[in-house]
A and B are shown apart, each in its own frame.
Chain A
Amino acid sequence: MILYNGQIYGTEMQQELLERLPEDLNGFLKTDTKLNIEDVITACDTLAKRVKDGEFDDTVKPFLETFGVSKKQFDDLLYMFSRDGLQKKIDIELPDREETISGFRRKRYPLGILLHIAAGNLDVLPAYSVTEGLLAGNINILKLPMGDSGLSVKLLSEMISISPSLAPFIYVFDVPSTETESIKKLADISDGIAVWGGDAAISAARHFANVNTKIIAWGHKLSFAYCEPDCTDEDLRELARSICITNQTLCSSCQGIFLDTDSDEEADSFGERFFTIFTEVNASSKPADYGMRAKNAINIYNEKLEQHETKSRIFSKDGISVIVKRDSGLELSYMYRSVWIKKLPMDKIHLLHKNKGHLQTASVLTSNIEKRKQISDILANAGVVRITSSGNMSRTVPGEAHDGTYALREYSRIVETEFY
């Protein structure tokens, strides 16, 4: 499905509409129409209320089920689209005051035309990306991810029907990633490209974009916990709980634990301690997906066969596992409740810097407040952009920065005009 200036078209119209787009956009830019941000907020707020009232339960319920999202978490998510939530986001990310400095008027403008290359990991993400583009006042072109369920067009066209003034600011195409010529054409007319996805997607965008096009990369990130051996069982329990809730599938999910030690024995006994807590928490959580448990059963069995080389210590039971490894590198876990534990003494935390651009959240677990401050500071210097307590690694709040920056600011530019 294609959404073009408020109209829905079938995919057979794609080529024709792609051809028409540059001219139509030029025509529209000529009219100098500004997007009224209030209209965006009204559309989101009204739609969020309707979702909350159950109008979209057919779509929402399976989504919550698949990702194990609780009612409370979903309400928090909806709050981000409410008038309150969005206003807070704008206030924090776009302090939109005009300034006059040394004879210059300084004002924020939208970037202009923004191309969103969305990832397919979360159905609602493409529409969310466009919403952020709208909040900054941009014209938005969305390239749907492969296997899009149709939700993006549905949500965005609902928003247009609430606030018709949004129509000329939204264009959604279903161009396959393999059609690089078409994507390049879209990129050529855009001022910026917001690309979601893995390193391959970002590197592809860098490749086809012209040098005069800004790339805003929302890439995949890895997150972890940093523990002092003196951390409490309660802290570890909270960590285990967040691992079970997110199944380690989010950028902010804990993949593993770095322990402040250089002793293998200490790492082993910490592994055993965490495994005991993890097993208890898992027993009281909704079981992980069967297919993923099956996949991990093979992975863990294989790890055991390789143990004579890796010297890892492996604890596994009931489909969950803790692998105490001998290296200190940050890596993706097997996910779905498989956690690695590695030694990383405090004086080596700075070495995480080699993972620059991939680091996101770290939770710090220690009973010593002074030490926590110290560790947090070293982690921040190494490139980590969110530092939280053990249970809050994946909590979302309106107006929080995204991967170390503010999306709305990335989608804007500052124009200075001299008075003369």
Chain B
Amino acid sequence: MENIIALISKPDNVPILAILFLIPYFIWLSFKQARQTDRMGVPSDAELNDKVYVWPYLCRNEFVCAIIVMLVLGVWSIMIDAPLEEMSDPAKTPNPSKAPWYFLALQEMLVYFDPWIAGVVLPGLIIAGLIAIPYIDINPKGKGYYTLKERPFAIAVFCFGFIILWIVLMIVGTFLRGPGWNIFMPWEKWDPHLIVPLTNINLSYLFGIRNDVTASFFGFVVVSGYFALGPIVYIIFRKTSQFIQQLGLVRYVIVSFLFLSMMALPIKMFLRLALNIKYVWVTPWFNI
């Protein structure tokens, strides 16, 4: 228990503590407004054409907001000192070595994927996917107001990615990851000598495949089969689903690829945590 108190009172973890309150608050605030719009309907034109002068109305808001934020920042800066540990020493590696808090979700992915996927490919896909959002989301509704009913898929996917795969993993990385990057519950003591037996096996091994070449081929089938889910769904539903027809082939390919890539992380996490799966696909050049 002293351990979690020490972690919480670490100055650099104050932002994470703030996030613990801010994120639920803003989720609540936005969902409340979304429910309101969904029930009462979108505001009418007359309400929207109601214009006000920026000076003084907006400038006053900006001014008050700036004062409040500066007050909070001032109090924060007076009360809590920025951390300074001893001088850097390349010969003395701390255990655990953690990246800055906003990269801890990426560091957390390293547990489940090799560095080239967790550190390069997935972050690249996150960036590309974020930029692609306006071009693949062709739903014209829900522009400029909170709603759940008019764009359930978009909101569900984004909230899952942002809240679970980014914020929650960041919090896990900060508070629950200890020496050796092992999970320690808040009430457990960080034991640097804790030995966790490595019983991870590859997926092919679980299916009784012992031959390397066969295992490699098996992995190829599983991974390409997973990404083939997109085209398969397309072929089955393209006649009946309005959603797919409106999206068009190119956008559909991008959406399904990005979606499957994102879901690969929770799937791999489940495989690792529940079945001790190390790799799904092993080759001499790379492992997935």
A and B interact: no
Q: Identify the B interface with A (CB < 8 A).
A: none
Q: Identify the A interface with B (CB < 8 A).
A: none
